[in-house]
Chain A
Amino acid sequence: MISHIAILMENQPGALSRVVGLFSQRGYNIDSLSVAPTQEPTLSRLTMTTSEEPEVINQILRQLFKLIDVVMVQNLTSAESFSIELAIIKLALNTEEVKKIIDGENKISCNIVNETEGFTMFEVKGESVAIDNFLSSLKDQEFLEVTRSGQLGMTTGMASLRTNDQTKISYD
């Protein structure tokens, strides 16, 4: 089963390597990972997917929280949440040919962004599974390139991954 984990961590050098290192060190697998600073520039937010068993997920959450740079962790899979992924695909087809392929796709949203020298690039947005399925449906096409963002996620309603503590560090 795929689990989604959201992590709020200090935006500082080395923090990401501690999170990623934890996974390899403890033998956990990372399927995808997406990270960027938040609107509060001292913090980064990370969404990670892993296919470990649920009891292992609890251990992963605790191990992550133990890292000094990690402020909060959240299991998105065990809560009501929304998640989405973005992919960029480039095919050796012209725009018209790509349009035929993407017309009628209702589980993903597609948008052609560029055609250069007969190669068409388009973006695909949707649930990771839907993107997986769409890519499988293209298996007869000659892919030039695909890149995926990894999943982003957020819980619905009041529950949130945010800290009211704006003070990263304070000294007396």
Chain B
Amino acid sequence: MTSGGEALIKALADEKIDIMFGYPGGAALHIYDAIYQQDRVQHILVRHEQAAVHAADGYARSSGKPGVALVTSGPGATNAITGIATAYTDSIPMVVISGQVASYLIGTDAFQETDMIGISRPIVKHSFLVQSAEEIPSVVKKAFHIATTGRPGPVVIDVPKDMTDPNHKFEYKYPSSVYLRSYPILGESDANEVKEAVKLLKSAKKPVIYAGGGVIQAEASEELIQLSRMVGCPVTNTLMGLGAFPSTDDQFIGMLGMHGTYEANMVMSEADLIFNAGARFDDRITNNPKKFGIAAKKIHIDSDPSSIDKIINVDVALQGDAKIVLGQICEEFKNASYDKSNLEPWWKQVKEWRNKHGLNHDMLNLPNQSDIILPQQVIQSLYKTTKGEAFITSDVGQHQMFAAQYYKFDEPRKWINSGGLGTMGFGLPSAMGVKFAFPEETVACVTGEGSIQMCIQELSTCKQYGLPIKIINLNNRALGMVKQWQDMQYSGRYSSILYEDSLPDFVKLAESYGHVGIKVEKFSDLNDAMEECFSLKDKLVFLDVLIDPDEHVYPMLEAGGSMAEMRISKKDRTF
């Protein structure tokens, strides 16, 4: 016989969950007592509930397995909200368990009571308020089923304290599978639509494959690569899709969108066929939807039918699982003849674009190098030192874009960032989650002095669990992305982006948490410092790199324009 608290933890273990991230509190105490008395599920104590959810998120993004976070009621639950919204926007499979006041107190404004189901409703895939202890195993089963299938997303289980009462025992049984009549899961796409898609692909003269995070979620990289080889066209990845197609591949034209490469945005603008696999025509991609891909036929694969025709109307809608649908397309594609060499004029044009304004991937060898460090150089140094094989988590801002542009991800799940919600503070706790998923792998967090301070307290968690994460702090002494916009659109009126000498000494800060801190101020010291950072295998190293404070991220799409309307540098623009 088990109590509700024990049943909850047993159910997690039966769901093959071996780790969860959380923070205890009154309403969750019965659950924490149940955790103490077992060893199948490890609990990681963070320093703030937002970090618990980001850590579970990083674990999920890197491993493909669902992440689990546990928080208490009231402030514990509300602190988790930013993390849940982050996971929701990027469709990350996750189950968040929140303690709740006892069921007979709900609605009385009890101590640490908050309506978690209500507060989280717009940012969860689904949620459950546990109504009886006996239903806990089936609720957990449903929660994981919903979180991990279809378009994945976070599911909240709100557990009133009396549901976990240790004195109320019942017989525990965990279901092996669940079926919900109201929740169909898409698999294959309609065969006629597949035929139509292949017809368009074969007749296109200027096709492009645009792949997003859905390809990574569906583990469909192999199929994407296979199709790309058959079609022989340029391939671009979204910020969320980086690594879905190898970045060092000749067919890869870089990331697209707001800070995408010149060639990727030009290709999208001039293409006669846009093949979207697992992306959602986000506004950071399309720029002005009315000017998006005007000359192009459009094909869209999505596991979420509500993403189709939401922003951009498409010619062929392939609703289904990206892995299965891409497989269907590959099979169909083989059936009729196709001559890749027809794309030669298209490639000639693409290469011209690349030669004209492509990213400089050799910035470490710039001539007449002053000793000022450029942010791109830090990323290139990081790439070189880690041989492109590290897991890179990122915070949000200029450093995120530089990392996305200059670290060439060749595999899926190696690039972990808050793409949709843009959550500052995501980088360090998500890196903890990655490190727990892959203890033997190199994990670096690319951040800035703004973002890192939003979850800096997790340096303590890293100390407790011995997590040798490498923090690469692109320190420009300002909220850089905001500064860039203020430079470009507000005549350099720097409203609330400077710290007035209040930045901490990050080296001392790292040391006070028991870690190693290294400060780099000159370009000539950069590579050595980077090497040292990664040679200290068992240590968390905080590499504080003072970079050029005036650097902007380019290219940058011009607001309201087409994808061809870009600023290329502070002086050059395409429009």
Contacts and interface: CB of A to CB of B under 8 A. Distances in A.
B118 A70 contact: no
A171 B175 contact: yes
B145 to A, nearest CB: 10
Contacts of A133: none
B177 A171 contact: yes
A28 interface: no
B455 interface: no
A70 B182 contact: yes
B23 to A, nearest CB: 26
Contacts of B305: 62, 65-66
Interface string A1-35: 00000000110011001100100010000000000
Interface residues of A, number: 27
Instruction: Give the residue among B127, B146, B178, B306 with the most A Cβ atoms within 10 A.
Output: B306
Which of A9, A21, A70, A169: most chain B Cβ within 10 A?
A: A169
Interface string B298-342: 000000111011100000000000000000000000000000000
A18 B124 CA distance: 11
Interface string A130-170: 00000000000000000000000000000000010101111
B interface, how many residues as a size bin? 20 to 34
A66 B183 CA distance: 8
Interface of A: 9-10, 13-14, 17-18, 21, 25, 55, 58-59, 62-63, 65-66, 68-71, 163, 165, 167-172
Contacts of B306: 59, 62-63, 65-66
Given A68-B180, A71-B181, A171-B141, 4 more contacts: A10-B182, A66-B306, A167-B181, A171-B177
B125 interface: yes
The 6 nearest A-B residue pairs measured at CB: A171-B175, A62-B306, A165-B181, A68-B126, A71-B182, A172-B177
A171 B138 contact: yes
B112 to A, nearest CB: 21
A171 B178 contact: yes
A66 B88 CA distance: 14
A68 B181 contact: no
B127 A14 contact: yes
A69 B180 CA distance: 9
Contacts of B308: 62
A65 to B, nearest CB: 7
Interface in B169-195: 175-183
Contacts of A171: 138, 141, 175-179
Contacts, number: 63
B125 A170 contact: no
B129 A13 contact: yes
Contact of B121 (A9, A21, A62): A21
B181 A168 contact: yes
B129 A169 contact: no
21 contacts: A10-B182, A13-B131, A14-B117, A25-B122, A55-B309, A59-B309, A62-B308, A63-B306, A66-B304, A68-B146, A70-B182, A71-B181, A71-B182, A169-B181, A170-B178, A171-B141, A171-B177, A171-B179, A172-B175, A172-B176, A172-B177
A14 B309 contact: no
Contacts of B178: 169-172
Nearest to A169: B180
Nearest to A26: B122
B142 interface: yes
A63 B304 CA distance: 9
Contacts of B126: 68
B122 A169 contact: no
Contacts of A10: 182
Given A62-B306, A169-B142, A171-B138, A69 B182 contact: yes
A9 to B, nearest CB: 7
Looking at B177, B182, B304, which has the most chain A CB atoms within 10 Å of its CB?
B182
Contact of B181 (A21, A59, A163): A163
Most buried by B among A62, A65, A165, A168: A62
Contacts of A68: 125-126, 146, 180, 182-183
